């Protein structure tokens, strides 16, 4: 049986804006659980071309990176906003909408969960340190944490897809973000929160696999079976 094909938009996000860049663990984990990554440059401008590529794959993964353009949810950019790439925003938001419409499995990570929420009509907290009371230290890079190391715990709603996959109602996760979901989009359910109330995971209950997490499971999965199961169950849904 052929490996399920997973479409991953790949942006230009190196400091010199000269190279397409994607963390290798996204790819490695998908391959480890039997998936076949298909990379789509976010500079692709012909909608028909990448719509045809989307139609040929079995699932979509949205990955981490810079901030979503605040104008897409009706706000002026906060001074801490960085790395905005409107072309990437528009491509990934379109893919998120198509996947929901078609019930095509979608796994959204960090920036990806934010894209998912904005695509469906939600909004974001633009800067947790200045806009969220009593925020935990969500930006592990500012605190010297390795990417595989847990930064805080999340509480997971019982009876959810996420709880079933991770096999627990409390998980230790890493954290490398300064934005998060604010107004939740219609059709999504909050399924995990940090102790400070920040939304850490959402899913669409009636879809095969439409799940977003605010942490970076790809960097924990090589040493954490529970995080690798997120990739395994995603690829299994792509096979279905």
Reference 60, options 68, 69, 50, 70; nearest CA is: 50
The catalytic position among 200, 218, 233, 238 is 218
pLDDT value, residue 144: 66
Q: What is the pLDDT of residue 145?
A: 73
Q: Is 39 helix (H, G, I), strand (E, B) or coil?
A: strand
* Active-site residue, from 138, 200, 216, 238: 216
Supply the pLDDT for residue 140. Answer: 59
Residue spans of the domains in the chain: they are 5-239
Whether the CA torsion 173, 179, 180, 185 is positive or negative: it is: negative
Q: State the pLDDT at residue 211.
A: 98
Question: Of the residues 110, 138, 178, 233, which is catalytic?
Answer: 110
Quick one: CATH architecture of 5-239? Answer: 3-Layer(aba) Sandwich (3.40)
pLDDT of residue 142: 57
Residue 218 is a catalytic residue: yes
DSSP 68-129: PPGGGGT-PPPTT-----HHHHHHHHHHHHHHHHHT--EEEETHHHHHHHHHTT--EES-HH
Mean pLDDT value of segment 90-111: 97
Q: How confident is the model at residue 49 (pLDDT cuts 50, 70, 90)?
A: confident
Question: Could you tell me what percentage of the chain is helix, strand and coil, using 3-state DSSP and rounding each to the nearest 5?
Answer: 35, 20, 45
φ, ψ (nearest 5 deg) of residue 196? -90, 5
| 238 labelled catalytic | no
pLDDT tens digits, residue range 134-193? 888 877 555 567 888 888 999 999 999 999 999 999 999 999 999 999 999 999 999 999
216 a catalytic residue = yes
pLDDT of residue 43: 85
Residue pLDDT, tens place only, 216-234: 999 999 999 999 999 999 9
Work out the average pLDDT over 114-140: 91
**Is there a contact between 144 and 167 (Cβ–Cβ < 8 Å)?**
no
Q: pTM for the full model?
A: 0.95
Percent of the chain having pLDDT more than 70?
98
Indicate the pLDDT class of residue 14, thresholds 50, 70 and 90.
confident
């Amino acid at each position: 049986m052929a490996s399920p094909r997973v479409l991953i938009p790949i942006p230009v996000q190196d400091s010199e804006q000269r190279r397409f860049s994607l963390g290798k663990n996204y790819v490695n984990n998908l391959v480890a659980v039997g998936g076949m990554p298909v990379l789509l440059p976010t500079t692709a401008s012909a909608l028909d071309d990448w719509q045809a590529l989307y139609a040929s794959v079995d699932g979509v993964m949205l990955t981490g990176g810079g901030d979503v353009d605040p104008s897409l949810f009706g706000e002026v950019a906060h001074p801490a906003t960085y790395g905005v790439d409107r072309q990437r925003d528009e491509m990934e938001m379109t893919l998120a909408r198509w996947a929901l419409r078609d019930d095509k499995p979608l796994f959204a990570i960090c920036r990806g969960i934010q894209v998912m929420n904005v695509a469906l009509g939600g909004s974001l907290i633009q800067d947790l340190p200045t806009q969220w009371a009593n925020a935990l230290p969500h930006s592990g890079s500012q605190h010297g944490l390795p990417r595989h190391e847990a930064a805080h715990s999340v509480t997971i709603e019982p009876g959810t897809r996420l709880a079933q996959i991770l096999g627990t109602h409390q998980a230790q996760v890493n954290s490398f973000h300064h934005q998060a979901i604010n107004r939740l989009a219609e059709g999504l359910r909050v399924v995990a929160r940090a102790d400070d109330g920040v939304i850490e995971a959402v899913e669409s209950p009636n879809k095969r696999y439409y799940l977003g997490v605010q942490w970076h499971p790809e960097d924990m999965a090589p040493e954490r079976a529970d995080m690798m199961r997120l990739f395994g169950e995603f690829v299994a849904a792509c096979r279905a």
